[in-house]
């Protein structure tokens, strides 16, 4: 297992992991919404972020994308979930920052539990305009 920067030729695989993970974790949002975001994810969001992949047995098992101190994406391939890879990716970026902020849907209880367990605290609740879903703004600080 190793963590490294992604290569641009891996974008299609990252988009697949993101899409499958989004459908799995966000079954309360219409599938068509996630489908409509695939192109932007590949052409805009992933290229603008600092993205690292976790490699297990020669294959990408997941990835983490940061935009400054904002955790824009943390996705582990559905087949590899529950094996600690998300925690390892999160730890990797925590070692390089003093603060991390993220947003997570209120209905994604598994993710909220994961982030709380990893030291994040809820800062605010707001509405995600594109989906109409409520979300938490969560934050981690190295001093806590």
Q: Give the mean pLDDT of 112-125.
A: 97
Give the pLDDT of residue 43.
Answer: 94
CATH number at residue 55: 3.40.630.30
Q: Which secondary structure element, helix H or strand E, spans residue 99, and what is its range?
A: strand 99-105
Q: Give the mean pLDDT of 78-86.
A: 92
Nearest residue to 17 (alpha-carbon basis) of 97, 86, 87, 99: 86
Give the pLDDT of residue 143.
Answer: 76
| pLDDT for 76 beyond 90 | yes
Is 126 in a helix, a strand, or coil?
Answer: strand
Q: Give the mean pLDDT of 27-53.
A: 95
How many structural domains is the chain composed of? 1
Question: What does the alpha-carbon distance between residue 144 and residue 131 come to, in Å, rounded to a whole number?
Answer: 32
At 144, the pLDDT band (50, 70, 90 cuts) reads low
Q: Give the mean pLDDT of 46-68.
A: 96
Instruction: Give the range of the structural domain holding residue 73, as residue numbers without chain letter.
Output: 2-141
Instruction: Give residue-wise pLDDT tens across range 8-34.
Output: 999 999 999 999 999 999 999 999 999
For the chain, what is the mean pLDDT? Answer: 95
């Amino acid at each position: 297992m190793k963590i490294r920067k992604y290569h641009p030729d891996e974008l299609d695989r990252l988009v697949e992991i993101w899409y499958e993970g989004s459908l799995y974790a966000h079954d309360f949002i219409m599938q068509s919404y996630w489908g409509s975001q695939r192109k932007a994810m590949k052409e805009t969001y992933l290229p603008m972020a600092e993205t690292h992949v976790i490699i297990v047995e020669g294959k990408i098992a997941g990835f983490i994308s940061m935009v400054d101190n904002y955790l824009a994406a943390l996705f582990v391939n559905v087949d590899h979930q529950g094996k600690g890879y998300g925690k390892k990716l999160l730890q990797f970026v925590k070692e390089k920052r003093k603060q991390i902020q993220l947003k997570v849907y209120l209905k994604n209880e598994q993710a909220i539990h994961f982030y709380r367990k990893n030291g994040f605290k809820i800062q605010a609740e707001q509405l995600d305009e594109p989906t109409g879903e409520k979300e938490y703004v969560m934050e981690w600080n190295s001093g806590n």
